[in-house]
Amino acid sequence: LGPTGVGKTELAKTLAATLFDDEKNLVRIDMSEYMEKQSVSKMIGSPPGYVGFEEGGQLSEKVRRNPYSVLLFDEIEKAHPDVFNMLLQILEDGRLTDSQGRQVDFKNTIIIMTSNAGANRIVSPKTLGFLQQEDAAADYKRMREGVMEEVKHIFKPEFINRIDEILVFHMLSKEDIHKIASNMLAGFKKRVKKQMDIRLTYAKPLVDHVAAKGFDKDYGARPLRRTIQKEIEDALAQKIVDGEIHIGDEVRISIKNDSVCVQKIIKKG
């Protein structure tokens, strides 16, 4: 649970990569596509005689082919009640029968459901701890209780009771954004080296710039990726297209007059 852009989906990706060696072992289901009554057939496959019967369901077929995976049901609160009934069976029995009568085993999957329910009750880290004698744990407990009150109004007790653990994410602070910006830039640097054998160098001012430009209290960390793409990736790509930077070059990315500057490092001698 938590507001948008705080890392709920990213956690699922990391879990898939850590437990099953690859982010590709993440099966992501956007529940905004399952708001209608007929949505269940999309999950388990069309009934016999209908178009798409042989293709299998979007959920059941993926798990049948890859039983060791992380299942991410994104924005679960948007799902139709009939979809919830199907999920109850999975959470209770660990199995599901698809439209072709095949039993799909979910016992080797990890199921994660994200929701924005109660997000308005999650306060900024700056406002937490307004009573000096209360520590961070007490602040979090109070916030979590407020979120859970709203959750109980949205989800039925039998559904909540089948969930092993409910995690409530804080809103991101500026310090969190700075760490995420640093990690994203490190990932971009690694990707450029692997794909084009171009070695990037940069310093803390670039991280500060990306964090400042990409910080948005309403959208969390999502604008960071767009900032890196727009201001850094596009600038580097343009230099490559113009023939100023080639495979094997070393490139410095710096900040000048609050703008990103991409320069090829020319070695002396």
Q: Render pLDDT for 213-246 as a digit per residue (tens, 0 to 9).
A: 888 777 888 899 999 999 999 999 999 999 999 9
Number of C-alpha atoms within 13 angstroms, CB side, residue 118?
24
More confident residue, 199 or 139: 199
Mean pLDDT of the chain: 85
**Strand pairing category for 110-113 and 70-74:** parallel
Using the predicted structure, report yes or no on whether residue 183 has a pLDDT greater than 90.
yes
Using a cut of 0.85, tell me whether the model's pTM lies above it: no
CATH number for the 174-264 domain, one of 1.10.8.60, 1.10.1740.10, 3.30.70.141, 3.40.50.1820?
A: 1.10.8.60
Give the confidence band of 52 by pLDDT, cuts at 50, 70, 90: low
Reading across the β-sheet that carries 250-256, which strands appear in turn?
A: 199-202, 250-256, 259-264
Query: Pick from 197, 200, 220, 219: which is nearest to 261 by CA?
Result: 200
Rg (CA), the chain: 23
Indicate the helix (H) or strand (E) that contains 83. helix 81-93
Q: Tokens for 73? A: 């049901």
- Say what angle helices 204-214 and 174-196 make with each other, to 10 degrees: 120
Using the predicted structure, report yes or no on whether residue 125 has a pLDDT greater than 80.
no
> Dihedral, CA atoms, 143, 149, 150, 153, nearest 10 degrees?
170
**pLDDT score of 269:** 56
Q: How far apart are CA 269 and CA 254, in angstroms?
A: 24
Other C-beta atoms closer than 10 Å to the C-beta of 79 total 22
Query: Pick from 210, 202, 218, 203: which is nearest to 179 by CA?
Result: 210
Give the confidence band of 133 by pLDDT, cuts at 50, 70, 90: very low
Domain locations along the chain? 8-160, 174-264
- For residues 113 and 73, the answer to whether their CB atoms sit within 8 Å is yes
**pLDDT score of 129:** 44
- For residues 100 and 83, the answer to whether their CB atoms sit within 8 Å is no
pLDDT cut 70: percent of the chain above it: 88
Q: How far apart are CA 164 and CA 79, in angstroms?
A: 20
Tell me the pLDDT tens digit for each residue of 23-47. Answer: 889 999 999 988 888 878 888 876 6
More confident residue, 116 or 257: 257
**pLDDT score of 2:** 80
Give the confidence band of 135 by pLDDT, cuts at 50, 70, 90: low
In this prediction, residues 58-78 reach a mean pLDDT of 91
pLDDT cut 90: percent of the chain above it: 42
Q: What's 8-160's CATH class?
A: alpha beta
**Strand pairing category for 259-264 and 250-256:** antiparallel
Give the confidence band of 122 by pLDDT, cuts at 50, 70, 90: low
**pLDDT score of 255:** 93
- For residues 75 and 41, the answer to whether their CB atoms sit within 8 Å is no
